[in-house]
Amino acid sequence: MFPRIITTRRGGHTYHYLVLVESYREKGKVKQRQVGHLGNIDQYSQEEIQRLINKLREFLKEDELGTVKDLQTFGTKHYGIPYVVNFFWERLDLDAFFKNYLQNRQVEMDVALCTKIMILNRLIAPKSKLGVSQWLRQIYLPELEEKQPELHHFYRTLDVLEEMKDYLERHLYNRLTDLLSYQLNLVFYDLTSSYFEGTHCPLARFGYSRDHRPDCRQINIGLLVTPEGMPIAHQVFEGNIPDKVTVAGAIEQLKQKFAIKSCIFVGDRGMLTSHNLEELKEANFRYILGFHKRGREVSDELLARYQNLEEYQLIDGDNPLFYVEVPPEQVQAPPKENLVEGEEEEKENFEPPVRYILCHNPLKAQEDYEFRVKAIEEARIKLQELKDRLARETPRRGRKPTTKGVMLKAAAILNKKGLAPIFDITYDGKSFNFEINEPALAKEALRDGKFLIQTNADLPAEEVIAAYKNLLQVETAFRHIKDFIRLRPIYHYNESRVKGHIFICVLAYLFEKWLEVIHRRYIEDEIFKAKQIPDPESQERELRRWKVAHKSGRRILELLEEIKAVDQQFLDKRIYSITQPGQSQSELLKILGLPLPPKILTFR
């Protein structure tokens, strides 16, 4: 039995009738006859025909084509971020790198796969290595359909990563230089710390804590990044190492590992020593280094001499900034305590000509002023509470507050917000008094929004200032590695595995930042095109559109995270159904240069 369309013509019109035809045999001959008439097929909609087909299929005991009832769903897996990371992984030739590096070694685990899984975990849902070994079932990677690493494979991979660190960083630098077409004319360097709750890591030491946890041992991490914020190298140090001691190693990496012949090294005030400046000079590197506004170089005399902003030049932009070039003789030489132990201060180590640029940021000045006003008011209240408490206090058993004890309590109140120079405190054993030191307050106000830059780079002052402000790229990198990629808590205490874990975090940030750089460059190109539009109204509309289109690396990951692989079974087939990207995800993939993902993936 089968359906057939019978065509007839009546009155100049053509009609199509759907009939059911049955074949039968009579006297050895095959004949056909109509057993059902379903009417004019032209009068049926596609939906009505489909309903009819589905209704007839209900009479089947076994339907080879299947129905909706035959579809089973088991869960979802992360797909968007692994899909993109896989593409970028291939562009970096990382599988080939790992294969070549390990070709003469018998390694039981797939180091490349374990590394990729740990990077993905940092980008999606950071966990311990034990957590990663269980979490990997929640992501879709083609490799995981064939094999899944075990817990000890991840630990061993950290050891191998620490061994190959220099080779892998050099490989990544060379590939990214080709892919992103950049020349490293500027390089930024800074240091941060990360603390441990435990006590067994040999690298962990008590030191200056940027996490405000002086009670915990810590490690220090030095990071080199490009002007666009791409991390190119890092070093892990003991927790008590001074910033200035790490600079020589950073210079050595740039010179030897990356074969950089000349660039401008941008760092912060803690790196400025005569020894480091000499190292930079020998490496043929220029430098841009900054001083804190309360450092000895930014003296009261210097600020008083340049308090009139009419002497400054203005840099226009979204955040206006004023600057003035200061003669070197008006700035003190670096303090002797900044020198490396055993080193004598030698002024001839400073490569002439040295330039100093004093800057004033109005927005930061307002922030400093408001912070100080609030801090002074809080200190007033606490000092008054201390005064009232001393006035009410009656000696017990002959004991009374000592002058030293009272002054220590007052110092604790003032030192918390750096207000000690602003208040005059007196206590004679009976009466406690405090008042604002107006001359000291006036001097402090001169520091609002100020910072000083020292450089020997042959660049216009505006470019020097822009380069130093971009040092925030390193601080942004540290903040993302700590807050989003979650460097902490560090569950390892073995030195190589601590270093391997940090390497994974830096690699994860590299992938995140790479997405952001590609997206930003695309937006900048569109803004440039918009500025060429001759019609002012159309130009303004396009400029508004693209100026708000920028997305951070973290926001890009959030959009990609919405694309899932749905684990399903239809009849006897196991498949992954990929949730289709929305408009935002489709535009994002286009900008990143990636095709849309397939709709269906079959299990291997």
For 414-465, the three-class secondary structure string (H helix, E strand, C coil) is HHCCCCCCCEEEEECCCCEEEEECHHHHHHHHCCCCEEEEEECCCCCHHHHH
Q: Which of 469-473, 497-501, 555-559 has the highest mean pLDDT?
A: 555-559
Three-state DSSP at 119 gives helix
Which of the residue ranges 51-65, 268-282, 482-496 would you say has the lowest mean pLDDT? 51-65
Looking at residue 199, its pLDDT comes to 67
Three-state DSSP at 327 gives coil
Distance between CA atoms of residues 500 and 484, nearest Å: 18
Looking at residue 344, its pLDDT comes to 45
| Residue spans per domain, the chain | 2-59, 365-445
The label of the residue with tokens 């940090």 reads 502
In this structure, the number of other CB atoms found within 10 A of the CB of residue 93 comes to 15
Looking at residue 197, its pLDDT comes to 66
Looking at residue 64, its pLDDT comes to 61
Distance between CA atoms of residues 462 and 314, nearest Å: 9
Instruction: Please tell me which residue, 422 or 479, carries the higher pLDDT value.
Output: 422
Among residues 376, 312, 357, the alpha carbon closest in space to that of 467 is found at 357
The answer to whether 604 touches 143, Cβ cutoff 8 Å, is: no
In tens, the pLDDT along 421-445 reads 899 999 988 889 999 999 999 999 9
Q: Residues 6 or more apart from 64 whose CB is under 8 A from it?
A: none
Query: Which token pair is 451?
Result: 């910072």
In 41-145, beta strands by DSSP E: 71-78
In this structure, the number of other CB atoms found within 10 A of the CB of residue 200 comes to 10
Looking at residue 477, its pLDDT comes to 76
Among residues 447, 435, 440, the alpha carbon closest in space to that of 410 is found at 435
Dihedral-angle region of residue 71 (phi above 0 means left; psi in -120 to 50 means alpha; beta otherwise): beta
Among residues 551, 575, 579, the alpha carbon closest in space to that of 563 is found at 579
Q: Residues 6 or more apart from 595 whose CB is under 8 A from it?
A: 589
Distance between CA atoms of residues 139 and 78, nearest Å: 5
Bridge partners of residue 30, in order along the sequence:
25
Q: Residues 6 or more apart from 248 whose CB is under 8 A from it?
A: 275, 276, 279
In this structure, the number of other CB atoms found within 10 A of the CB of residue 342 comes to 6
Given a cut of 60, whether residue 206 has pLDDT beyond it is yes
Does the model's pTM come out above 0.85?
no
Bridge partners of residue 190, in order along the sequence:
223
Nearest 10 degrees: CA dihedral of 135, 141, 143, 146? 70
Question: Which whole-number Å values give the CA distances from 48 to 35, 42, 54, 227, in the listed order?
Answer: 21, 11, 10, 63
The answer to whether 455 touches 355, Cβ cutoff 8 Å, is: yes
Question: Helix count (H) and strand count (E) of the chain?
Answer: 18, 18
Question: Which whole-number Å values give the CA distances from 549 to 555, 556, 587, in the listed order?
Answer: 11, 12, 11
Bridge partners of residue 21, in order along the sequence:
2, 34
**pLDDT-derived band of residue 367, with 50, 70 and 90 as boundaries?**
very high
In this structure, the number of other CB atoms found within 10 A of the CB of residue 298 comes to 22
Instruction: Please tell me which residue, 395 or 238, carries the higher pLDDT value.
Output: 238
The answer to whether 548 touches 537, Cβ cutoff 8 Å, is: no
Cis preceding linkage at 353, omega within 30: yes
The answer to whether 357 touches 323, Cβ cutoff 8 Å, is: yes
The answer to whether 233 touches 225, Cβ cutoff 8 Å, is: no
In tens, the pLDDT along 501-533 reads 999 999 999 999 999 999 999 999 999 999 999
Among residues 169, 188, 191, 173, the alpha carbon closest in space to that of 473 is found at 188
Cis preceding linkage at 439, omega within 30: no
Given a cut of 50, whether residue 340 has pLDDT beyond it is no
